Structure 1
Amino acid sequence: MTRTPQVVFACVRNGGRSVASRVLTEHYAGGRVVALSAGTQPGEHIHPEVAEVLEKLGLDTSAEHPKMLTRETVAASDLAITLGCGEECPYVPGVRYVDWPVDDPGGQDEATVRRIVADLDARVRELLVELVPDIELPPSVLNRD
């Protein structure tokens, strides 16, 4: 049995992109990938407009709260996905980094947040197929409504 891959999604406030990516990954991975999210300057709470869109897609965000991105979190991960934190994210040799240039959903209207979540949804689904080639992904949450 192989080890379960761990991914950390990192942004600045840990209130939007990284949280949505983590929640989507956990939903689709079915326990086959561990997903974490954190921020270089975590805010007080996740963006309410992001939580609202994710909840409407059937994804629970009630346990989500911003966390500080630490070197230890990155070091324990196989992959670090950066979403706007750039050079502020700690660099750990041996960890693969991938930057996803995705707009910040904080303070945006619902249509914009849905577009950003759709972008993240597609990226997460591609990532999971890469990390777990034999995974059978459930239908996209975007097809629910």
Structure 2
Amino acid sequence: MPDLPEVLFVCVHNAGRSQMAAALLDHHAAGRVRVRSAGSAPADTINPAVVAVMDELGLDLAKEFPKPLTTEAVRAADVVITMGCGDACPVFPGKRYLDWRLDDPAGKPVEQVRPIRDEIDARVRELLTELLPAH
């Protein structure tokens, strides 16, 4: 079995954007990409509005939890996608880094989190076409 590309999504709290991105990429990749997410300062729980908007797509984040960013996770990733964590993300030579500027869903109601989710979904689908080009 060939090595799967590995993507790491990083935001500050790992309670919103990076969790949505990881769940969406995992869903769309259907096992063809290894996906992780982490936060530079992880929150205690995932944002309930994020859980709600992902549930609308049939993606259950209820069992997920914010995870701390580790050097090992960055080293293992082929692509590191940051979402507003600034300089907190360690940088290794030879890695591909993308910075997705997205609104932070923290404290926002479901109606305002939905467009953030949809923007992440569009970016994840585009990333997938780069990671897994059609043969």
TM-score, shorter chain, exceeding 0.5: yes
TM-superposed CA distance for 1:56, in Å, is 1.5
Q: 1:142 corresponds to which residue? A: none
Write the distance in 1 (CA, Å) between the matches of 2:30 and 2:87.
32
Q: Which amino acid aligns with 1:45?
A: T
Q: 1:116 corresponds to which residue? A: 116
TM-superposed CA distance for 1:3, in Å, is 1.3
Contact conserved, 1:71 with 1:92, CA < 8 A, in 2? no
TM-superposed CA distance for 1:2, in Å, is 3.1
Residue 37 (structure 2) pairs with residue 37 (structure 1) = yes
TM-score (structure 2 length as normaliser):
0.96
Secondary structure at the counterpart of residue 63 of structure 2: coil
Percent identity reads 50
Write the distance in 2 (CA, Å) between the matches of 1:63 and 1:29.
20
Q: 1:7 corresponds to which residue? A: 7
Q: 1:26 corresponds to which residue? A: 26
Residue correspondences, number = 135
Instruction: Provide the alpha-carbon RMSD of the alignment.
Output: 1.1
TM-score (structure 1 length as normaliser):
0.90
Q: 1:140 corresponds to which residue? A: none
Residue 60 (structure 2) pairs with residue 60 (structure 1) = yes
Write the distance in 1 (CA, Å) between the matches of 2:42 and 2:130.
29
TM-superposed CA distance for 1:92, in Å, is 1.5
TM-superposed CA distance for 1:62, in Å, is 2.2
Contact conserved, 1:71 with 1:91, CA < 8 A, in 2? no
Write the distance in 1 (CA, Å) between the matches of 2:131 and 2:2.
12
Write the distance in 2 (CA, Å) between the matches of 1:23 and 1:134.
22
Q: Gaps (5+ residues) in structure 1?
A: 136-145
Write the distance in 2 (CA, Å) between the matches of 1:128 and 1:3.
16
Q: 1:125 corresponds to which residue? A: 125
Q: Which amino acid aligns with 1:63?
A: K
